[in-house]
A and B are shown apart, each in its own frame.
Chain A
Amino acid sequence: MTALSKFVTTISLLLLAHAGFSAYEFSHYLKHLTIKSNASLPADIIVETVVAIALFGLGQVIAAPTLQPVSFAKWAKQVEKEGNSPFAYLERRAGFVNIQQIRSDYKDSIKA
């Protein structure tokens, strides 16, 4: 989760909480202070809620891990560049081992 997505998500949740509180207050006033009881929600609460939801969706989509290519060829290429190839074991087979390199490494390690 990047800093940007955290920021966007936090802002959206604060907006949503504020909108919810405002809607509660509005219905409270409607019931106890006025006689008109069928008024609709004020436009600013509606806008606040919709903006909060839109921001939350955006924040979650930004936060998602990057998708991996579904084609095996592309995926394997990408994974091999990162250094953890699914075929690494093939390169460690006996026929591919550089014995002389290992021997000289061993000699060096004894000397040291």
Chain B
Amino acid sequence: MDRKELEGAVAPISSESLAQNTKAVYYIRSVTSTIFGVGAGILGLESYFGFLFYFAGTAYVSLLMFFILAKGKPAEFFTSPSYVWTGNAFTGLTSFVLTWTMLYGLVDA
């Protein structure tokens, strides 16, 4: 047995709570990225600035998740502690572009 298997045998992981935590992060990422797109459209951002806006917003939400959702201890709730920062960071990108372009067009009278 390699190291990882041994760790799993000594300190087993609850797959049920892992799935529940991952789902919570996924939901927050998808909903917030849609609203980030609305914001980027209202601000009339173009090209790279829109994507920068997305990543700034994602970083902000990651910060909130780290301190409020995971109470500063992501290792206790995820198998990889970086999941709070990088997990599902790109899943919202498509819905972001959708609402971004839609609001950009709507706001332009």
Contact = CB atoms under 8 A, between A and B. Distances in A.
- A and B associate in one complex: yes
Contacts, number: 107
A85 interface: no
Interface residues of B, number: 38
B108 A68 contact: no
| Interface of chain A: mostly helix, strand, loop or mixed | helix
A interface bracket (residues with beta carbon within 8 Å of B) = 35 or more
Interface of B: 11-14, 16-18, 20-21, 24, 27-28, 31-32, 35-36, 38-39, 42-44, 57, 60-61, 64-65, 68-70, 76-79, 103, 106-109
Interface of A: 16, 19-20, 23-25, 27-28, 30-31, 41, 45-46, 49-50, 52-54, 56-58, 60-62, 64-65, 67-76
